[in-house]
Amino acid sequence: METIGIGWVDLQVVIHELAILAGVGAVVFAAAQVRQMQKVREAESLLKVLEMSFTALGSNPVATFRRNFHMQQVFTTYEEFVRCEDGQDAGQIGKLIWYYVFLGVTLRQRLLPEEALMRWHAPAIIRTWISVLPIIEGMRQETNSPGFARHFEYLAVRAADWLRHHQASESKFFADIQNDAVNLASDREHLSFDATVYRKRSQR
């Protein structure tokens, strides 16, 4: 071995170091694979949540949003809810509670990216929680089930915490976007836009 410029002891050291590097590389690769699978699960869960949301919004999502944005308490007391529990309004509230319970579970299990969920839905989560809280508290007392809708409660707390930490930066972000949109609208006559290209494509 000396003839090639490296002794047997030195060669053993090199082999040992290569083995360590190979092991580290395998760990890094496995970690990357796990992270990639997590991203896939997050994407699948988020798509499922979006699908459920669009189903709940009905045939005209914009009209539904307009009606529900300033969500008012349909039932101000739990007793009133129980009297009308077979009606359509009570049924919708029941579905809404379980929908947010589902969101809370998926978030706690880290099947949803919290940043994406809260940017999209945090204010609605808080408004809905406040609106249905009398019903949830009444259900807990009547059935002696203090754990009822706990994951909805967890979701609302996470949403409030996220808003406390991000509301200022989010407001600034969209204020800048709004300014750019105003500038874009004022410059629309000067924008270069060849509509004939798209018209030709649509006629193919």
pLDDT band for position 3 (50/70/90)?
A: very low
Average pLDDT score, the chain: 75
CA nearest to 135, candidates 70, 73, 88, 71:
73
84-136 tens-digit pLDDT: 878 887 888 888 888 899 889 888 988 778 888 898 889 889 988 998 999 99
Structure tokens at 38: 């997590």
What values do phi and psi take at 34, rounded to 5?
Answer: -60, -45
Rounded alpha-carbon distances, angstroms, from residue 35 to 39, 115, 124, 140? 6, 17, 30, 39
CA nearest to 73, candidates 136, 121, 122:
136
Give the residue, 55 or 165, on which the prediction is more confident.
Answer: 165
- Give dist(CA 64, CA 73) in Å, integer: 16
59-96 tens-digit pLDDT: 676 666 666 555 556 677 888 888 887 888 788 888 88
User: What letter represents residue 137's amino acid?
Assistant: E
- Give dist(CA 185, CA 48) in Å, integer: 35
Give the residue, 51 or 175, on which the prediction is more confident.
Answer: 175
Task: Please state the rounded mean pLDDT for residues 42-69.
Answer: 66
Q: 151 and 101 in contact (C-beta within 8 Å)?
A: yes
Give the residue, 91 or 193, on which the prediction is more confident.
Answer: 91
pLDDT band for position 185 (50/70/90)?
A: confident
Q: 162 and 122 in contact (C-beta within 8 Å)?
A: yes
- Give dist(CA 95, CA 97) in Å, integer: 5
pLDDT beyond 90 at 139: yes
